[in-house]
Structure 1
Amino acid sequence: MFISDCLGLSDAGHLTIGGADTLMLAEKYGTPLYVMDEDNIRENCRLYKKSIDKYYDGRGLVTYASKAFCCKEICRVAADEGLGLDVVSAGELYTARQADFPMEKIFFHGNNKTIEELSMALSYGVGRIVVDNLTELEILNTLARSLNRKANVFFRIKPGIDAHTHDFVRTGQIDSKFGLALETGEALAAVKEAISFENICLKGIHCHIGSQIFDIEPFEHAAQVMLGFIAQVKTETGYEIEELNLGGGFGIKYITEHDPVEYDRYMQRVAVTVDDTCKELGIRRPFIVIEPGRSIAGPAGITLYTVGAVKEIPHVRTYVSIDGGMTDNPRYALYHSEYECLVASRAGEPREKTVTIAGKCCESGDLIGEGMRIQEVKPGDVVAVLATGAYNYSMSSNYNRIPKPAIVFVKGGKDRLVVKRETLEDVIRNDL
């Protein structure tokens, strides 16, 4: 009935998440409100971990891509489930450390890490630093030398794969701000330089071909390309790269029509490709790392809003104005991302109205969606936008000086606050 397994209906016909009544949550914590089903998050973590353990004989690691949704509590959950963590900034790394996440299981990504961020990663003892370019490699070697230590690194590689997704979230092709190109010889030159540096230990290579991908074939192709590069490095230098990070990008169901690949099916097929390719190339199978983010957090989350005005423009459209918008979910403004929405008090009834859900910002593009199907809706109703667990809170802003919403986790039907709602004092906290 719903796009996510964590959603249901109460006896009163109200939308529930993780067994908790969303109307009760809205009344208790206010709106806008992010709500996450912790049990669903943990189940997704376990599905990935079980699958990688099964198909790679325990020689693999699932790292949660925290850019999808980052706070101290999700770091604690990931650690508790035995996952690694992918961070892309000092802020995400600091959050992980404050949550006591094991530093040796962190992969630090980013196309333009500052000297301060690299120093922070070295001082914290981060497990792997994913180097994006030769400038970063040289800086890192100098920093590591000054600290009398070796930095364990990966290189981010552009495998040249078309992931059949939105141009803004395609990252594996040659024309990308991320990584080193294979076609130009740039990647091989970087490897040769890395293995010559005394304070660099090249552990592996990494690729990420895009986001919200529904096909398995691009992942298989990326694995073949990356393994081919490992074989080339071995042939030309004698150095055998031990680890391979195949990234993330697994699609989720945002709307009914979406048909994402089951995690286990993806893992099985890519593992077969990895094994066959390694045998063909005469190389050992590397330790395999994957980086799911959206597919762990996205389906587990919803956002609750309170409806203000309902404005009908005859023969044009109906605007449903909510008390949030692009400040807590900028994805429609950025990508025209699709969502489904429900009136929380009538979630089981047919969605017979077509509306545009509009945010409260002074911006004509502040929309959650256009042409959205919803139940009969009126001012004061609580509206739930589904599958907002990823890239909503993490991309939120204070545009128009609007405070950011609170985040509530639900576990076993019981709710708890994990991120407080910002106050107006929080908004001006750094003003002088």
Structure 2
Amino acid sequence: MLDYGIRIWSDDDFKIEKGKIVVNYGKKPAIIDIVKDIRDEGYKGPLLIRFPHLIKEQIDLLFKAFKKSMKEYGYQGGFNALFPLKVNQFPNFVIPLMEMTKGIPYGLEAGSKPELIIAMAYNNPGSPIMVNGFKDKEMISLGFIAAKMGHDITLTIEGLNELETILTVAKEMGKPYPKIGLRIRLHSSGIGIWAKSGGINSKFGLTSSELIEAMNMLKNSNMLEYFTMIHFHIGSQISEISPLKKALREAGNIHAELYKMGAHNLKSIDLGGGLAVEYAQHDGLSQRHYTLEEYASDVVFLLKTIAHNKHVPDPDIYLEAGRFVAAKHAVLVAPVLELFSQEYDQRELQLKPKNPPLIDELYELYNLMNEKNAIEYLHDSLDHMESLLTLFDLGYIDLLDRSNTEILVHLIIKKAVDLLKHKKYDEILNIQNMIQEKYLLNCSFFQSLPDYWGLGQTFPVTPLDRLNEKPTRSASLWDITCDSDGEIAFDIRKPLFLHDVDINKEEYFLGFFLVGAYQEILGMQHNLFTHPTEFSVVFDDEGNYEITNLLEAQNILDILDDLDYDIKDIERKLKQYIEESDYISDDKRKDVLGRLYLYLSENAYLKTIVSYKDE
């Protein structure tokens, strides 16, 4: 049984039982059974499944780790956490998140006016709101309105011009004022593709001289008491702990120096995000090289040590671990529509009474192949195919010969894979690299996995069932967009093997895990494929699950409406063309128009027809 690295990436949240991926919670339902229940209700195409209990689990782990370290080191500061809305702004994530964090210091971080409105509406009373990113006067004024609503809100300054605007708005709107934070520009930077978030040339933050000037501006305006926090961020998905430790030393010393300069209400440090998630599903390819406990211990110990040495109070710690909180809760399920090699079937062979000699040799290779000679015959068949395709290009063989060539070679490949499936993994890996099966999935990678397409970020992928059977096909995954980049190619360094299935007789689903962070909101409507149908799986106290918050993918008219097309004009034109068409008889016009309106009310994803249900 191949476990698809579930022991590496799942943290025991998902398990394999009886050949199926199950949710390791409650009565442990199989995801494939949940999917089939939804599909029986008529919801086809890709599905996004949310598991809210995994959000709560991650938050609990976060607070537990920091509270344990604070107790161990006698840390006197508090711990607060925030969810950065840029990671996932969808209501079926945000609203349950706020419901399950009532009563603990967990709030929202906003980086734009719409995100700030979400925070002002849904943040729990008493929990912090942080506002990062560039701000104009209107956005700063919204922060003052939030303070007047009773929110514990901090406006983090990215530049001195923003501080000037805050001082102006303070005079115009009066108290209560929001708290003020200063983002510091560290020399320290992160690691990996997001490392540019930190460092002296980073996009955000104040230099040392600007920090001193900001202090003077606050003093001169009698606003220094509202300066309560410094903030830094060295990047998303920090894979190593050492860059964080270096940044903490720098930030801790800056905090202490500012406190000694008179900022005695400066009691907090916001560490930003970056707490990594393990996406790897192959040994030796880990993307996180530390534990949550190690992370929390290092943060608390270093800040405690610096505060003690500098004779300042231990600062309250704020953390924006958005990816850590959100990634696990969502799973993308994509149906397989087709295996491309299955176009080549022995029944399609049309051998002639007299064939080109190389085709006769291919047929003989196919019939005489056994486990002992499979590798040799496979290589011979691939050589024959190259020769025969060259002969076709030169005009020496016809299209029927070319068709027989393609069919025979694919039959030989499938037979070789089946004969060698019991061999050692390393012995057949190079062969599998040459002869991948192409699986067509009913989804868009641009919409549902944009970080894969844009950044090369990998996500764990596994079949939802048949995990008690050895997969035999090295797999390349194709989505249904008409774009050659819509492919997850087979990679010999981290190979994906799937089962050889007959899609005409059985359904086969792949699950993409850890897709809850960034993927939804970054998804692009390439080919006008939109957010898939989504729903939440909620467990009761007895361990039973219930489907909630079901939201079907947009239909075609809604998609076009979002692009600012005049929907009424489209409907009028289509109806007119049907009514005036010479190719549609009068008694058929109503039926054709009805079909058209039916299709316009459907989503853009493809419909799968599975015949085995009718057998």
- Structure 2 match to 1:332: 452
- Structure 1 match to 2:207: 181
- Structure 1 match to 2:561: 429
Q: Aligned partner of 1:301: which letter?
A: A
Of 164, 169, 189, 1:138 maps to: 164
Within 5 Å, which residues of 2 pair with 1:27-426?
27=36, 28=38, 29-54=43-68, 55=70, 56-57=75-76, 59-79=78-98, 80-81=100-101, 82=104, 83-99=106-122, 101-102=124-125, 104-110=127-133, 112-125=134-147, 126=151, 127-149=153-175, 150-166=177-193, 168=194, 170-182=196-208, 185-198=209-222, 201-235=226-260, 237-240=261-264, 241-256=266-281, 257-258=285-286, 259-311=288-340, 315=434, 317-324=436-443, 325-368=445-488, 370-371=490-491, 372-376=495-499, 378=501, 379=503, 380-412=507-539, 413-418=544-549, 420-424=551-555, 425-426=557-558
**3-state SS of the aligned residue for 2:184?**
strand
Q: With structure 1 as the length reference, what TM-score do the two structures score?
A: 0.89
In the alignment, is the contact (CA less than 8 A) between 2:189 and 2:195 conserved in 1?
no
**3-state SS of the aligned residue for 2:220?**
coil
In the alignment, is the contact (CA less than 8 A) between 1:64 and 1:292 conserved in 2?
yes
RMSD: 2.7
Distance 1:103 1:72 in 2: 21
Distance 1:195 1:323 in 2: 60
**How many matched pairs?**
426
Which has the larger strand fraction?
1
In structure 2, the CA distance between the partners of 1:284 and 1:58, relative to structure 1 (3 Å rule), is closer
- Structure 2 match to 1:22: 31
In structure 2, the CA distance between the partners of 1:141 and 1:211, relative to structure 1 (3 Å rule), is same
In the alignment, is the contact (CA less than 8 A) between 2:436 and 2:490 conserved in 1?
no
Distance 2:188 2:231 in 1: 13
CA-to-aligned-CA distance 1:118-138 (integer Å, 9 cap, x gap): 333322335112221122222
Q: With structure 2 as the length reference, what TM-score do the two structures score?
A: 0.64
1:327 CA drift (Å): 0.9
Q: Aligned partner of 2:60: which letter?
A: R
In structure 2, the CA distance between the partners of 1:343 and 1:107, relative to structure 1 (3 Å rule), is same
**3-state SS of the aligned residue for 2:258?**
helix
**3-state SS of the aligned residue for 2:171?**
helix
Which has the larger helix fraction?
2
**3-state SS of the aligned residue for 2:67?**
helix
Q: Aligned partner of 1:405: which letter?
A: P
**3-state SS of the aligned residue for 1:326?**
helix
In structure 2, the CA distance between the partners of 1:415 and 1:180, relative to structure 1 (3 Å rule), is farther
In the alignment, is the contact (CA less than 8 A) between 1:329 and 1:368 conserved in 2?
no
Q: Aligned partner of 2:211: which letter?
A: A
**3-state SS of the aligned residue for 1:364?**
coil
Bigger shift: residues 247-256 or 83-92: 83-92
Of 8, 22, 35, 2:15 maps to: 8
**3-state SS of the aligned residue for 2:439?**
strand
What 5-or-longer segments of structure 1 have no aligned partner? none
Distance 1:99 1:159 in 2: 32
**3-state SS of the aligned residue for 1:390?**
coil
**Larger radius of gyration, structure 1 or 2?**
2
Distance 2:174 2:545 in 1: 49
**3-state SS of the aligned residue for 1:129?**
strand
